[in-house]
Amino acid sequence: MTLQSVPDLQHRTVLLDEAVDALAIEGTRADGVYLDGTFGRGGHSRKILERLSARGRLIAFDKDPMAIATAQTIADPRFAIVHDSFATLDEALAQHGVKQVDGVLMDLGISSPQVDDAARGFSFRFDGPLDMRMDTTRGVSAAEWLATADEQTIAKVIREYGEERFALQIAKTIVARRAVEPISTTRQLAALVAQAVKTREKGKDPATRTFQAVRIFVNQELEELEIGLEKAFRQMAQYGRLVVISFHSLEDRIVKQFMASKAHVPQPDRRLPIRAVDLPQPLAKLHSRVKPSDAEVAANPRARSAVMRSLERTAEAGS
C-alpha cells in the first residue's frame, strides 16, 4: 500500500506539520534515523517518511494491537514498527542495529479510534467493558484493578493522576459498590463517580478526571514518559531534535521540567576566576512552545489541550 492510498482512519493527527517541521528533516538530516514514539494511526509517521531520503529510516512504536495492524500496511523498506512502549526504545534500537538517532517525536495523546471504540473502555460516553489498556494483549484491565485495589490506593491514584479533589469520596463509593456487585462497565464507573462528586466545572462531566486517572495508572503512562524521555535524549546525536506533544498538565509538567534540565546547567560563583570558555555548557537548546491554531481546534476540538515542546541537542552524544 502506498502512502497516498491509505484509507480514512477517522483520526486527525494533532499538530501534524508543526511537529514534523520541528524535527528539521532537511538536507543531510534526511538521511538520518528517526523515531515515532506513538504510531497511533500513522499521521506523523507518514509525514516523516515523505521527508526522508532513500537512505533515511523511521522506527515507530505503539502498544495498541490495532495501531500495529495499521502500521503493517505501510510497505516501505525504510519503515519498521515495534509493538511496545517507547520506553523500550534502547532495546529496539539495538535490535535494529541503530546506535544514534537524529530525531524523536512523541505524541502522547490517545487516538480517536481508541476513544470512540466502546470495547476499549476509554470513554464514559459509551457503555462498554472497563478495560482502558493501550495493549489489550497484556497487563491488568481497569476493572481488574478496581476490583482488588484498596480504598487508599484508589484515592491516591485518582487524586494524583486525575487532580481530583473528591478522590477519597469516589474511592469510598467504588469500594462500597464492588462489595455488592462487580464494577465491570464504563457506565457503572461513571455513575458511581457522578454519585460521589457533588460539584463540577460547567460543561465538564464528573467522570472526566477519574477516567483520566485510571487510564494513566493502568498504562503506567507517566512512568513510561519519564523513562522514554531519558532514553531518547541519551540515544540522540548532536543536533538531534526531541519533539513532544502532550495533552494534560501532568504530562506537560514532566516534559517541561525534563527539557529545562537539559537546557540549563548550574553556573559557578561569578567571583571565581573561571574563563567563559571553561564554564559548563547546556546539553540542549529549547525551542518555542507551540499550541494548535484556532483553525485546527475548530476542525478538531480534541486538539484544544495540546502543547508541543521541542529541543535540539547541542552537546555531542554521550555528554
pLDDT of residue 268: 60
150 is in an annotated binding site: no
Overall residue count recorded for the chain in this entry = 319
C-alpha to C-alpha distance for 176 and 6, rounded to whole angstroms:
48
Phi, psi of 264, deg, nearest 5: -130, 145
Partners of 90 in the beta sheet?
A: none
Chain segment 294-314, per-residue pLDDT in tens: 999 999 988 999 999 999 999
Global confidence as pTM: 0.90
Would you state the CATH architecture of domain 120-219? Orthogonal Bundle (1.10)
Any known ligand binding at 44? yes
pLDDT of residue 122: 84
- Measured in degrees and rounded to the nearest 5, phi and psi for residue 247 equal -130, 0
Determine if residue 43 is labeled as part of a ligand binding site.
Answer: yes
Instruction: Name residue, grid cell 532513500.
Output: 54
* pLDDT one-digit tens code per residue, 102-142: 999 999 978 777 887 888 888 888 899 999 999 999 999 99
CA distances from 224 to 38, 120, 217 (A): 12, 20, 11
Extents of the domains making up the chain: 3-107+221-313, 120-219
Q: Do domains 3-107+221-313 and 120-219 have the same CATH topology?
A: no
CA 257 to each of CA 254, 275, 309: distance values in angstroms, whole numbers, following the listed order: 5, 29, 11
Quickly count: other Cβ atoms within 10 Å of residue 239's Cβ. Answer: 16
Nearest to 183 by CA among 143, 142, 151, 125: 143
CATH 3.30.1480.10 fits domain 3-107+221-313:
no
